[in-house]
Amino acid sequence: MKRPLFTLALGCGLLGLAAFSEAADRKLILIAGKPSHPPGMHEFRAGSLLLQKCLAQVPGLTTLVYSNGWPTDESVFQGADAVVIYADGGNGHPALQQEHMKFIDDLVKKGVGFGCMHYACEVPKDKAGKEFLDWIGGYYEHQYSCNPMWTPRFEKFPTSPITRGVQPFGVLDEWYFNIRFRPDNAGIVPILIAKPTDEVRKGPYVYPRGPYEHIVAAAGRDETMMWSMERPGGGRGFGFTGGHHHKNWGDDNYRKVVLNALLWVAKVEVPKEGVPSAINPEELAQNQDPKGKK
């Protein structure tokens, strides 16, 4: 079902208009996956609509949200500057259905930005691993990467438009790590980095429960939970492994680093202090899927 752009006169939409300069019109498409997991988890539609609302203040940017997976009318991609998928991954990944891989590859070759969030960072190695290395620089690989529930503390950030205004933070989420990156991490900029404790490395992981010997053997190593990449052809890509618990969008810094990434991947200038936004509990509760109800 298509979800057109909407703006509200409250919340995110009124903050920080002066932070943005005039820019050419840009088009960002957010593909929100089908309902998944219990209430409050994998709220792809609600999370995407919340991010859309927070970006409604950005001059020259149109953000469109399409719910329940891949848009039925592919003409909506015409003129897109970036496409970001927030959905279930693995074999059910929207990119793997029908001819979508070729469609995305054609967009990427034209310089369209591409990003994936949470489970959408996972694809089967033999079906889309190579393409994801080319498109966003890395992906979650089954039984190579791992997915524990833990609270990393992000204390230091690289110099990047995506980290502008982001302050140290930590939230409990299903943060994936030991991502399969491009050889020698070519072109990769780690955005969110933290050091898992030995206990986190030993599991349990969400699935499979682990532990994996290679994860435990890497004790003491920093891990990357969000990254960006500029492709040789001029396009941009990013991966964000958080996004399991919907309530985490209420954390200002968690939300800001993703909002910044959405601007960056669409080649919109990120304000000096990052994208300003504020949400209240009522806004956070909106648009969640009626899971378990007819």
Residue 223's domain is classified under what CATH number?
A: 3.40.50.880
Global pTM value: 0.92
User: How many domains in the chain?
Assistant: 1
Which of 221, 229, 152, 161 is CA-nearest to residue 190?
229
Q: Are 27 and 58 in contact (CB under 8 A)?
A: no
Query: 90 in a domain, yes or no?
Result: yes
Which residues span the domain enclosing 256? 2-285
In a domain, 101, yes or no: yes
Residue 19 pLDDT class (50, 70, 90 cuts): low
293 within domain boundaries: no
Residue 290, domain member (yes or no): no
* Dihedrals phi, psi of 155, to nearest 5 degrees: -105, -35
* Strand 82-86 with 188-194, pairing: unpaired
Of residues 37 and 13, the one with the higher pLDDT is 37
Residue 2: predicted pLDDT: 34
For residue range 227-256, list pLDDT tens digits in order: 999 998 889 999 999 999 999 999 999 999
291 occurs within a structural domain: no
Q: Is residue 98 part of a domain?
A: yes
